[in-house]
Amino acid sequence: MNNQLLLILFWILASCGRPVSSVYQEKNISVISAEKTEWVGGRAGVRGIMYTVKLKKKNNQVITVKALHAEGNTIPFVQSNSEGIIVIRGNLQFNNTEDHTFADKITTEKSTSPTLNPKDNWIEYIVKDSKKLYKINISKFILIEPVGELIPKRQ
């Protein structure tokens, strides 16, 4: 009986140092903020959504973002790094189906809007000198309204 108790105690202590699955390991980055701004303008009949994601690095490793997936769409993006913060800016442009102007009548293209799935948000990244692709989920994008004048007045 005493040997069985010691064996169980040894097994419990030995299992404490086991490696944790990669699902539960701490990530190299964490999401600080995920915002989106809807815009209309530029060419007639065009609008879009600007996505901005701020990430905090947990160490000094070089991290390269490979993909931004926002609301069910793969978004082209630019990455900038500054003092442990990674900023990713992406733009999803599509035809404006709500604006029926003269310019819309001229174009023969079909107006298309992307399918938005607010729960399908993630970023894929790699850490320098590693070929392993990591993925971090984003719970949702917060809609930010533009502040101030978007178009400067002529003087």
56 lies in a domain?
Answer: yes
**Which CATH number does the domain housing residue 111 bear?**
2.60.40
Q: Which distant-in-sequence residues (6+ apart) come within 8 Å of 125 by Cβ?
A: 28, 29, 63, 64, 65, 66, 133, 134, 135, 136
153 lies in a domain?
Answer: no
65 lies in a domain?
Answer: yes
Q: How many domains does the chain have?
A: 1
Model pLDDT, residue 99: 52
Long-range contacts, stretch 138-143, CB < 8 angstroms, 24+ apart: 138/31, 138/34, 138/53, 138/70, 139/34, 140/34, 141/34, 141/35, 141/36, 141/51, 141/70, 141/71, 142/33, 142/34, 142/35, 142/36, 143/35, 143/36, 143/37, 143/38
- Both tokens of 43, joined, read 């060419």
Model pLDDT, residue 85: 94
Domain extent at residue 39: 25-141
155 lies in a domain?
Answer: no
57 lies in a domain?
Answer: yes
Model pLDDT, residue 22: 40
- C-alpha distances (whole Å) from 47 to each of 29, 51, 97, 110, 155 are 31, 13, 9, 14, 27
Q: pLDDT (tens digit, 0 to 9) for every residue of the chain, 155 residues total?
A: 667 776 676 666 555 544 433 443 447 899 999 999 998 876 677 888 999 999 999 888 899 999 999 998 999 999 999 989 999 999 998 876 665 555 545 544 444 556 677 778 999 999 987 889 999 999 999 999 876 655 555 55
